[in-house]
Amino acid sequence: MANFKMHLGVAAIGSGMVATLCLGAGLASVQEVAILSLLGTIGGLLPDIDLDHSTPTRLMFTALGLLLAFLAMFFKAAHYSVLELWLVWGATYLAVRYLAWRMFSDLTSHRGIFHSLAAALFFCFLGTAIAYHQFDAPRLTAWLVGFFLLLGYIIHLALDEIYSVDFENRRLKRSFGTALKLIDSRHLNNSGMMLGFVLLLFFMTPDFSPVTDALSNANTWQQLGSHLLPQGTWFAL
């Protein structure tokens, strides 16, 4: 399987490139591009949250806790006092860093349900629902949040499958097929629970029509085409 640095680097590059396309198409602002790139990078690390007590796992939950804590504080800044914002930040961070980490540690095994497309959809719908309901993000932006988590997640799974192929000896390693799978057939109870959460979260996501409207709008593609290549001298100010 690919190591932590490989997952981090490829997810960061891939999500950054796609986020830049969203900027060129007018689907995201400069500030949103930075957040989406970060979310895609985090999505590229999420499948390994089932590695108990490992350094990457602690780093992932720490980074996720900090991100969600700051987002929760910023989006409530207009409504709460400074003391209340500090409490929101602290409660969010502690819930993610320790409570969520402990729950995942107790309920999961490595290369289990979290190395599956079902888990990728779980985080996609979860991110979309949180962005829309908790942070009052527009429907299109909320779906972009979920999409970038999904993108990073699938990049991770694909990398693990690629590293399961020994190209020099032209053989498949025993780990082949354990990463990029629909569900975890070894633990059907966990798979059934995950699919139930996916269905529940799907009904909590906002209307998908803004996404289809943006993708079917000719102006979106025209704007992307006009920003894809330089319109004169390269790097001209």
- Count of domains forming the chain: 1
Mean pLDDT of the chain: 83
Choose the weakest-confidence range: 95-109, 137-151, 170-184.
170-184
pLDDT at 111 exceeding the cut of 70: no
10, part of any domain? yes
Torsion-angle region of residue 236: left (phi > 0), alpha (psi -120 to 50) or beta?
A: beta
> What is the pLDDT at residue 187?
74
28, part of any domain? yes
172, part of any domain? yes
Which pLDDT tens digit goes with each residue over 57-93? Answer: 777 778 778 878 887 887 777 788 888 888 989 998 9
Which pLDDT tens digit goes with each residue over 155-170? Answer: 999 888 887 644 344 4
9, part of any domain? yes
| C-alpha distances in Å from residue 165, one per residue of 47, 153, 171, 176, 187 | 19, 20, 6, 7, 24
24, part of any domain? yes
User: What tokens does 185 get?
Assistant: 């057939």
Mean pLDDT of 148-155: 95
User: What tokens does 89 get?
Assistant: 């930040």
Torsion angles phi and psi, residue 108, rounded to 5: -120, 160
> What is the pLDDT at residue 46?
82
What DSSP state is assigned to residue 48? G
Which pLDDT tens digit goes with each residue over 219-228? Answer: 999 999 888 8
CA distance 118 to 160: 16
130, part of any domain? yes
Mean pLDDT of 15-19: 95
75, part of any domain? no
Residues 6+ apart with CB under 8 A from 95: 65
> What is the pLDDT at residue 80?
84
Q: Which domain holds residue 148?
A: 4-51+110-226
137, part of any domain? yes
Which pLDDT tens digit goes with each residue over 123-147? Answer: 999 999 989 998 889 999 999 999 9
Whether residue 89 contacts residue 72, with contact meaning beta carbons closer than 8 Å, is answered with: yes
